[in-house]
């Protein structure tokens, strides 16, 4: 530990501490510009100078001078203050537009600079924070200083966009004067995260309503995974809760029942090229619109196009990817209602003209039909017809700069072209991408459209053909929230009932393997669809798990030695039946 005096106050700090840090401990403020606690001190702005008293009094930069035993420091001595003020005046002349500098000047009592201002719009104070960040923290080394003396500036090799830049925007983050900014190269003001355009923070919470509210590290945006450096988050986390080396863990849990609620996937609207998703900036999907309208979205809830303006006309296209022989034949159930919700929100938040293109209006629930009528009164234009295409090629002057929706209005019996600014595609619900893999793992079946198959469409909507595995939600079929909640409750109660019963009902018609007849050929083991048969290596025979056996009899008919027999459907019994048929 080192003892020193600052401004007459004594302080004791660890060896290796700088004067600035020691002053911080005493809450003595010293102005700085090029200093940042996360970077190595640069000591270039010379605004943090303090006076070191002693045999030869001299001024030293407090940000990088390490303390020594018995040091006597004056932070507000006349000499130090004068020098600091002069240096700040010089910086004011270099970068008159830098707000931070003006603030500091006000604090120090400097009204204006006596020195010549060359560029009144200059903000860069050459503090080097951006360059040092890119070198020390990010490890990309994409920018550096060029030229010397007064011509010094932050630059990229040859002034070209640097190849080494990973677009992390850390330089802009550390810049104290907003001299470095970043913008979308297409100059978009609204960028949809789902389109994965534009940088997102590597450390963030999944959504504002996440439970638990624990941030995660997005490997794709994280600088450490791109350059091997950074790890600032680890440095600042007091609880040491960050570990970049975390790998996925496989955990084995033994359970008695399983509820599958693996959800759905949105229909990929780019599969319908005629609608222009992915080609036209302002054609967005329903989920993207949900994000847009949400207060935690890219525009804080304002409905804006990518150029930052409000749309004058919006078209909502139903049945995108649903009720379509080319994509999915089924109806996705929820789209009509959410489209009506969008229409309502648009009317509420903007003055836009709203067009709703539907085939049928499916308002099956409580209050749904009434909502539809309300919208009709609000002035949404409902056009009955499946939209054939969205195009930006104008045929008339009115259509210039607009997206034109081309549709057959089946009520009018005409083909219409409706110019709009924004198109919202009501994409349908599809089974998740790995639906079939999950089905295989859990040994359940999928129906034709790949949603999970329930045991009985009317009487057993939450159970599957495998005992103990239940279904809930959109993985079983498209449904909205009330239905999902109901189904979830049902699945939960069935699972609980199973656990609660204490007893388990077995099928009476299970198969049994006669140990003496069984040769251990294991043919039955692979045939059993319920994996109810296990080969006992010790005994050399196959054994049937009564609890799992459903009594289909497949193993029985396949068994070459007749060791497997189905209770109440034994071979002899069936032979007897056959004989009985032919008795005259």
CB of 528 to other proteins, least distance (A): 9
If binding is defined by CB under 8 A, does position 115 make contact with other proteins? yes
The rounded Cα 91 to chain-centroid distance in angstroms is 42
If binding is defined by CB under 8 A, does position 53 make contact with other proteins? no
Nearer to other proteins, 27 or 151 (CB): 151
Instruction: Answer whether 33's CB lies under 8 Å from 127's CB.
Output: yes
Q: Which residue has the tokens 């195009």?
A: 391
The pair of three-digit structure tokens given for residue 238, joined into one six-digit string:
């007091």
Please tell me whether residue 204 adopts helix, strand or coil conformation. Answer: strand
If binding is defined by CB under 8 A, does position 66 make contact with other proteins? yes
- Near other proteins by CB under 8 A: residue from 2, 59, 164, 460: 59
First to last CA, the chain: 113
Nearer to other proteins, 246 or 578 (CB): 578
Residues 416-475 that bind other proteins (CB under 8 A): 445, 448, 465
CB of 524 to other proteins, least distance (A): 12
What is 461-490 written as a DSSP string? Answer: SSB-SSTTEEE-GGGTS---HHHHHHHHHH
CB of 2 to other proteins, least distance (A): 15
Q: Determine the Cα–Cα distance for residues 277 and 279; give it in Å rounded to an integer.
A: 5
If binding is defined by CB under 8 A, does position 58 make contact with other proteins? yes
Choices 78-86, 208-216, 295-303, 408-416; region in contact with other proteins by CB under 8 A: 78-86
Instruction: Answer whether 477's CB lies under 8 Å from 428's CB.
Output: no
Nearest Cα to Cα of residue 337 among 482, 182, 464: 482
If binding is defined by CB under 8 A, does position 182 make contact with other proteins? no
CB of 74 to other proteins, least distance (A): 13
Instruction: Answer whether 18's CB lies under 8 Å from 41's CB.
Output: yes
Report strand pairing: 403-409 vs 414-420: antiparallel
CB of 581 to other proteins, least distance (A): 4
CB of 302 to other proteins, least distance (A): 43
If binding is defined by CB under 8 A, does position 161 make contact with other proteins? no
Nearer to other proteins, 476 or 566 (CB): 566
If binding is defined by CB under 8 A, does position 69 make contact with other proteins? no
Output Rg (C-alpha) for the chain, integer angstroms. Answer: 36
CB of 351 to other proteins, least distance (A): 53
Q: Determine the Cα–Cα distance for residues 266 and 345; give it in Å rounded to an integer.
A: 21
CA triple 347-349-350, angle to 5 deg: 70
Q: From start to end of 278-420, where are the E strands? A: 283-285, 313-320, 353-358, 381-384, 387-391, 403-409, 414-420
Instruction: Answer whether 385's CB lies under 8 Å from 357's CB.
Output: yes
Nearer to other proteins, 93 or 354 (CB): 93
Nearer to other proteins, 280 or 569 (CB): 569
If binding is defined by CB under 8 A, does position 116 make contact with other proteins? yes
Task: Count other C-beta atoms under 10 Å from residue 366's C-beta.
Answer: 7
Q: Determine the Cα–Cα distance for residues 387 and 276; give it in Å rounded to an integer.
A: 12
If binding is defined by CB under 8 A, does position 525 make contact with other proteins? no
How many residues of this chain bind other proteins (CB under 8 A)?
59
If binding is defined by CB under 8 A, does position 145 make contact with other proteins? yes
Instruction: Answer whether 471's CB lies under 8 Å from 463's CB.
Output: yes
If binding is defined by CB under 8 A, does position 551 make contact with other proteins? yes
If binding is defined by CB under 8 A, does position 36 make contact with other proteins? no
Q: Determine the Cα–Cα distance for residues 419 and 407; give it in Å rounded to an integer.
A: 11
- Near other proteins by CB under 8 A: residue from 4, 6, 91, 180: 91
- Near other proteins by CB under 8 A: residue from 56, 120, 148, 252: 148
Give bridge partners of residue 204 from the DSSP assignment. 216
If binding is defined by CB under 8 A, does position 47 make contact with other proteins? yes
If binding is defined by CB under 8 A, does position 17 make contact with other proteins? no
Q: How far is CA 284 from CA 280, 292, 333, in A?
A: 9, 10, 20
Phi-psi region of 178 (alpha: psi -120 to 50; beta: other; left: phi over 0): left
If binding is defined by CB under 8 A, does position 144 make contact with other proteins? yes
Report strand pairing: 258-260 vs 469-471: parallel
Q: Which residues contact 559 (CB under 8 A, 6 or more apart)?
A: 513, 523, 524
Nearer to other proteins, 276 or 551 (CB): 551
- Near other proteins by CB under 8 A: residue from 5, 21, 64, 561: 64
Give bridge partners of residue 178 from the DSSP assignment. none
- Near other proteins by CB under 8 A: residue from 13, 20, 52, 94: 94
CB of 94 to other proteins, least distance (A): 6
Q: Determine the Cα–Cα distance for residues 468 and 255; give it in Å rounded to an integer.
A: 10
CB of 132 to other proteins, least distance (A): 12
Nearer to other proteins, 97 or 376 (CB): 97
CB of 38 to other proteins, least distance (A): 18
Nearest Cα to Cα of residue 434 among 423, 442, 426: 442
If binding is defined by CB under 8 A, does position 569 make contact with other proteins? yes
Nearer to other proteins, 21 or 381 (CB): 21
Choices 306-314, 335-343, 431-439, 553-561; region in contact with other proteins by CB under 8 A: 553-561
If binding is defined by CB under 8 A, does position 56 make contact with other proteins? no
- Near other proteins by CB under 8 A: residue from 43, 383, 423, 472: 43
Residues interacting with other proteins, by CB under 8 A? 41, 43-47, 49, 58-59, 61, 64, 66, 79, 82-83, 86-87, 90-91, 93-94, 114-116, 126, 128, 144-145, 147-152, 445, 448, 465, 509, 527, 529-530, 550-554, 556-558, 566, 569, 571, 574-575, 577-579, 581-582
């Amino acid at each position: 530990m080192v003892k020193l005096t600052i401004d007459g106050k004594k302080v004791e700090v660890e060896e290796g501490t700088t004067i600035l840090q020691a002053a911080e401990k005493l809450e003595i403020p010293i102005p700085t510009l090029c200093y940042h606690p996360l970077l190595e001190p640069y000591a270039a702005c010379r605004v943090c100078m303090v006076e070191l008293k002693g045999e030869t009094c001299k001024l030293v930069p407090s940000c990088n001078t390490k303390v020594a035993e018995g040091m006597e420091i004056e932070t507000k001595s006349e000499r130090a203050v004068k020098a600091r003020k002069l240096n700040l005046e010089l910086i004011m002349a270099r970068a008159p537009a830098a707000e931070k500098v003006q603030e500091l000047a006000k604090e120090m009592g400097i009204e204006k600079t006596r020195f010549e201002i060359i560029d009144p719009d200059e903000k860069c104070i050459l503090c080097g924070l951006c360059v040092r960040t890119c070198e020390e923290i990010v490890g990309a080394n994409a920018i550096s200083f060029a030229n010397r003396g007064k011509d010094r500036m932050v630059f990229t090799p040859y002034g070209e966009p640097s190849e080494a830049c990973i677009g992390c925007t850390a330089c802009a983050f550390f810049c104290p004067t907003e001299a470095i900014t970043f913008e979308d190269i297409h100059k978009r003001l609204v960028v949809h995260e789902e389109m994965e355009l534009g940088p997102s923070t590597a450390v963030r919470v999944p959504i504002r309503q996440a439970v638990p509210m624990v941030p995660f590290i997005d490997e794709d945006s994280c600088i450490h995974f791109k350059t091997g450096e950074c790890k600032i988050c680890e440095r600042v986390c007091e609880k040491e809760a960050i570990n970049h080396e975390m790998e996925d863990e496989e955990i084995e849990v033994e359970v008695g029942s399983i509820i599958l609620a693996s959800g759905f996937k949105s229909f990929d609207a780019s599969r319908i090229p005629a609608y222009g998703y992915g080609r036209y900036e302002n054609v967005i999907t329903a989920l993207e619109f949900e994000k847009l309208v949400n207060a935690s979205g890219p525009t804080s809830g304002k409905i804006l196009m990518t150029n930052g303006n409000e749309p004058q006309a919006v078209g909502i296209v139903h049945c995108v990817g649903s009720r379509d022989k080319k994509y999915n034949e089924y109806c996705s159930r929820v789209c009509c209602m959410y489209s009506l919700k969008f229409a309502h929100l648009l009317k509420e938040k903007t003055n836009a003209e709203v067009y709703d293109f539907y085939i049928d209006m499916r308002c099956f629930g409580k209050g749904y039909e009434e909502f539809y009528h309300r919208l009709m009164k609000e002035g949404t234009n409902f056009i009955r017809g499946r939209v054939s295409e969205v195009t930006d090629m104008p045929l008339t002057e009115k259509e210039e700069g607009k997206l034109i929706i081309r549709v057959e209005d089946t009520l009018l019996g005409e083909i219409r072209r409706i110019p709009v600014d924004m198109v919202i595609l009501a994409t349908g619900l599809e089974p998740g991408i790995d639906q079939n893999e999950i089905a295989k793992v859990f040994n359940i079946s999928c129906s034709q459209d790949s949603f999970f198959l329930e045991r009985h469409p009317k009487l057993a909507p939450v159970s599957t053909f495998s005992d103990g595995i239940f279904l809930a939600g959109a993985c079983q079929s498209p449904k909205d929230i009330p239905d999902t909640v109901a189904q979830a409750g049902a699945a939960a109660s069935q699972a609980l009932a199973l656990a609660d019963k204490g007893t388990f009902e077995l099928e009476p018609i299970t198969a049994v393997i006669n140990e003496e007849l069984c040769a251990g050929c294991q043919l039955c083991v692979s045939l059993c669809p319920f994996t109810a048969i296990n080969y006992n290596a010790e005994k050399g025979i196959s054994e049937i798990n009564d609890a799992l056996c459903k009594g289909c009899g497949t193993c029985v008919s396949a068994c070459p030695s007749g060791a497997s027999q189905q209770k109440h459907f034994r071979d002899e019994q069936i032979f007897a039946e056959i004989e009985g048929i032919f008795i005259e």
